[in-house]
Structure 1
Amino acid sequence: MNIARLLGNTLLLTLLSATAARASTLVLESWRVDDQAVWDTVLIPAFERKHPGITVRFAATAPTEYDSGVAGRLAAGTAGDLISCRPFDAALPLYRKGHLDKLNGKSGMQYFDAAALMAWQTDDGKDTFCMPVASVIHGFFYNKKIFARLKLQPPATEAEFFAVLDAVRKHGGYAPLALGTAEQWEASQTVFTNIGPSYWRGEEGRRALVAGKAKFTDPPFVAAFEFEERLAGYLGANAATQTYADSQAQFAQGRAAVYPAGSWDIAWFNRAPGLELGVFAPPVRRAGQACQVSEHMDIGIGVNRKSKNKEAAYRLLAWLGSQEFADLYTNRVIGFFTLSNHLIAVRDPVAKQMAAWRNSCALTFRLNAQFLNRGTPSMESLLWEVNAQVLNGKLPAAEAARRVQQGFAKAYAPPRK
């Protein structure tokens, strides 16, 4: 009897263990190759300590291959249990095709407000299909040692900004700006999207474009191109062939004073020997104006509708909405800020300063991220090309505005009232 009971208990435990193993091995897909070590050594162990029956594998794909790759795997039924989601129209088609679960009311979702959720919702705002994870913030990095040597202060206005660049150029020992246009995206995402909100008044201007009440040829948008037109005079002679990596190296090695960037670069520059990194917000047009900052909602996470480990997947999702995860992610993946409403103490000094802009400046996000990229040509590709040409001194501001508006009018139809 005892032997039979023992055998029965052993068999039961074996079956339970096998079932648990089958049901609780999760794969989380992402394009964030640079975050692999943090997930493997910090985030996943923190989750698994509290959920000993669940194992997680972070599977990263190169950013340039991720979008098409994950879409193909979802369609084929071979994708991971959880999917990292790019914002707005990049992930919305995956939900519309039935690849992602609706997350309304799921545990953990209660920690995100409407502004954070909108990047991963249907157009009517009724369904949310990815949990918001993190944003990045745009600004300008500066070399503190160079500023101290030249007795410069971080600028707050347009006039002060160009006065700083003039002083650096006059000195002659450093490049005023570490900026190239070879890859084009920098021209749009680290310059136009960075300084533009100060001219078109952030959300006011963006929403006016969406509603069909504004044009790129209107004065506020032309003024943003005019700012870039002035910047062209401070770029190096080889700016058109200077890559993103070239600009990073130029600034990290102390050969340039100012670097238009986003918070995602903080961790990279923190590893640069001898670099004392400072940051200032995008300059306002004139003293007394409220600062406008672009905070791009960058990463969300959704649940694969065909996952065979749904219960475990939703346990992980709930933890991704927790304060523990928000704290770990914000302070280990430096320059990426939690989109939850948990109160988090940001420890990196530059990241902390940028995070504080959320409370002192008006916030918007990349101009074309919501709705405006739909159509051909896409607003994204058009802005890359046009802004690069303006910075290269090849395209006047007024003509740049006209060209973007022409493409915009062909590709985008405002919603009917």
Structure 2
Amino acid sequence: MKRRSIVLSLLAAITAASAPSVWSAPVVLTIESWRNDDLPMWRDKIIPAFEKNNPDIKIKFAPTAPAEYNAVLNSKLEAGTAGDLITCRPFDVPLQHFQKGRLLPLNDLKGMDNFAPVAKTAWTTDDGKTTFCVPIAAVMHGFMYNKEAFTKLGITPPATVEQFFAALQKIKADGKYVPLAMGTKDTWEASQLAYQNIAPNYYKGEEGRQALIAGKAKLTNAQYLEPFRTIAKWKPYLGDGFESQTYPDSQNMFTLGRAAIYPAGSWEIAGFNKQAGFKIGAFPPPVQKAGDKCYISDHPDIALGINAKSKNAAAAKVFLEFVASKEFAKIYANSVPGFFSLQKTPVEMTDPLANEFASWRGKCESTPRLTHQILSRGTPNLEDELWIKAAAVMNGTLTPEAAAQQLQKGLDSWYKPAN
């Protein structure tokens, strides 16, 4: 009996040692995010695709309302209660988290070589040495238009600024449609959908953005001033009372067929496809004259990092390797059309409008928004100030020259270029 008892004990020990996953619970990883509208995609597509090949790791997607995300996440990180994986907005906020030791470095993560350095810029230290979030997607700026309206009026998508204003004038003269569906009440539209939309064609994308960061150029220089002059000329083509028109008002004006052109962010694609009763086309920001090289605001928008205090960092790295994969990129880009993969290899997409936007990458040079890296770290915050000044320029209450001067004065008050 004694010998039999010893044998049974040994067999039990060997079984337990050789098959721990049978008895231990799976690791559960929690993702912090502001994209609460993405919950169905994560629940129905991304998580099942990952867990199919990683049954010992379970994913919990736990989003916070977008406007509350930064504050809530910061509180959780300080209290040590944040999830294992942190969804990263671009540039300075996640950089601050990394500098405070809240995010792990990811240079050696498998799959990071799927991204070119420029794709990782928004989640890499200023010296370019350390990347701390895996890039997921970017959004683009351009113009959407009502194809039926263009056909009725005999208008083709404009390629130059002159053609753009000629189209606006023709739409206005016809009287059936508001030429441009845009208001200035929410101010951010005047910055991101007007100025930051068209400006890269004037300051030549990365050349102009880097010159401003390096202190080799000023916002009062012609290449930054001219976009203000251009959007000031939009005023006659905006709807009546555009000064009190909100972002949702502009969306509705376009999708209900009351406006012909919508200064757009690609994030609108999925919603507009469902809401509009007409076919939508898109064209990139017009160049100043025929033959000019084109530049687009191709702005890194979302990435994913690891909470440095996570007790499941090894499992989190396994999940981020999946996020860096081509499989993830294809699922994401097709689940939320208008959010474009940042991987080197183009992702095949099924949405025609998304493909139209994506095609611009093959024709134009990409650049992030002008004010998002380094230049908005002080007070006054250049990004916030641009919202206000761009809206005032479009309202006609501030001249383009005064706007540029005030922005540069505010930047000079705190920013001392490193170069």
Q: TM-score, normalised by structure 1?
A: 0.96
Match in the other structure for 2:152: 149
Pick from 98, 102, 125: which aligns with 2:101?
98
Cα 1:11–1:50 shift into 2, 3 Å: closer
Q: Which residue of 2 aligns with 1:65?
A: 68
**Corresponding position: 1:110 with 2:116:** no
Q: Which digits, 9 at most, give the CA deviation of each residue in 1:170-196, with x for residues without a partner?
A: 111110011011111111011111101
Matching residue within 241, 254, 258 for 2:257: 254
User: Is 1:171 aligned to 2:174, yes or no?
Assistant: yes
* Residues 192 and 273 (structure 1), Cα distance of their counterparts in 2 relative to 1, 3 Å cut: closer
SS, match of residue 125 in structure 1: coil
SS of corresponding position for 1:391: helix
Counterparts in 2 of 1:256 and 1:16: CA distance versus 1, 3 Å = same
Question: In 2, Cα distance between the equivalents of 1:12 and 1:346?
Answer: 46
**How big is each residue's C-alpha offset from its partner over 1:4-51, in whole Å with a ceiling of 9 and x where there is no partner?**
577657866996445443xx1011111111111101100110001111
CA distance in 2, matches of 1:124, 1:361: 27
Per the alignment, residue 52 of structure 1 pairs with 55
SS in 1 for 2:184: coil
Partner of 2:412: 409
Structure 2 letter corresponding to 1:275: F
Tell me which of 280, 283, 291 is aligned to 2:283.
280
CA RMSD of aligned residues (A): 1.6
- Compute the displacement of 1:341 (Å): 1.6
Q: 26, 42, 60: which is aligned to 1:39?
A: 42
For 1:60 and 1:4, how far apart are their aligned partners in 2?
Answer: 47
- Secondary structure class of the residue paired with 2:298: strand
Shift of residue 411 of structure 1? 2.9
Alignment equivalent of 1:354, drawn from 352, 357, 361: 357
Specify the code of the residue in structure 2 equivalent to 1:399. A
Contact map agreement 1:232 1:390 (CA 8 A) in 2:
no
Q: Deviations over 1:260-283 (max 9, x none)?
A: 011100001010141211000000
Are 1:330 and 2:294 an aligned pair?
no
Once the 2 structures are TM-superposed, how far is the Cα of residue 344 of structure 1 from its aligned partner? 1.5
Structure 1 residue 217 corresponds to structure 2 residue 199 = no
In 1: Cα distance, 2:38 partner to 2:288 partner: 37
2:386 pairs, out of 355, 361, 383, with 383
Gaps of 5+ in 2: none
Q: Contact (CA 8 Å) 2:257, 2:276: kept in 1 or not?
A: no
Q: CA-to-partner distance for each residue in 1:279-309, whole Å, 9 max, x for gaps?
A: 0000001111011111001111100111111
2:317 aligned with 1:314: yes
Separation in 2, partners of 1:18, 1:190 = 54
1:235-274 maps to which residues of 2 (within 5 A)? 235-274=238-277
* Partners of 1:13 and 1:28 in 2: CA distance: 31
1:121 counterpart residue number:
124
Q: State how far apart, in whole Å, the 2-side matches of 1:64 and 1:154 are.
A: 35
Query: What's the secondary structure of 2:257's corresponding residue?
Result: coil
Q: What is the aligned counterpart of 2:191 among 188, 191, 216?
A: 188
How does the TM-score come out when normalised to structure 2? Answer: 0.95
Contact 1:326/1:342 (CA < 8 Å) preserved in 2? no
Q: Does 1:345 align with 2:329?
A: no
Matched, 1:206 2:209: yes
Whether 1:293 and 2:330 are equivalent positions in the alignment is: no
What residue ranges of structure 1 are gaps of 5+ in the alignment?
Answer: none
Partner of 2:369 in structure 1? 366
One-letter amino acid of the structure 2 residue matched with residue 31 of structure 1? W
- Indicate the SS of the match to 1:285: coil
Q: Report the CA distance between 1:3 and its aligned residue.
A: 6.3
Q: d(CA) in 2 for partners of 1:91 and 1:195?
A: 27
Amino acid at match of 1:361: C
| 2:77 alignment partner in structure 1 | 74
The one-letter code matched in structure 2 to 1:127 is T
Q: Runs ≥4 in structure 1, deviation > 3 angstroms?
A: 1-20
Alignment length, in residue pairs? 414
1:334 aligns to what SS in structure 2?
Answer: coil
SS in 1 for 2:261: strand
Aligned residue among 387, 396, 400 for 2:399: 396
Return the offset for 1:99: 0.5
Amino acid at match of 1:39: W
Shift of 1:402: 1.3
Q: Secondary structure at the match of 1:91?
A: helix
Structure 2 SS opposite 1:27: strand
Distance 1:96 1:351 in 2: 35
In 2: Cα distance, 1:379 partner to 1:19 partner: 52
| Amino acid aligned to 1:390 | V
Q: Spell out, residue by residue over 1:77-132, the C-alpha distance to the aligned partner (whole angstroms, 9 max, x if none).
A: 11110001011112100001111001111112121111111111111111111111
| The 10-residue stretch of structure 1 (4-13 or 245-254) with the greater mean CA deviation from structure 2 | 4-13
Q: Supply the AA of the counterpart residue of 1:369.
A: H
Question: Aligned equivalents of 1:11 and 1:108: distance in 2?
Answer: 34
Q: Cα–Cα, structure 1 residues 141 and 273, in superposed 2: closer, same or farther, change >3 Å?
A: closer
1:205, 1:179 → 2: CA distance?
26
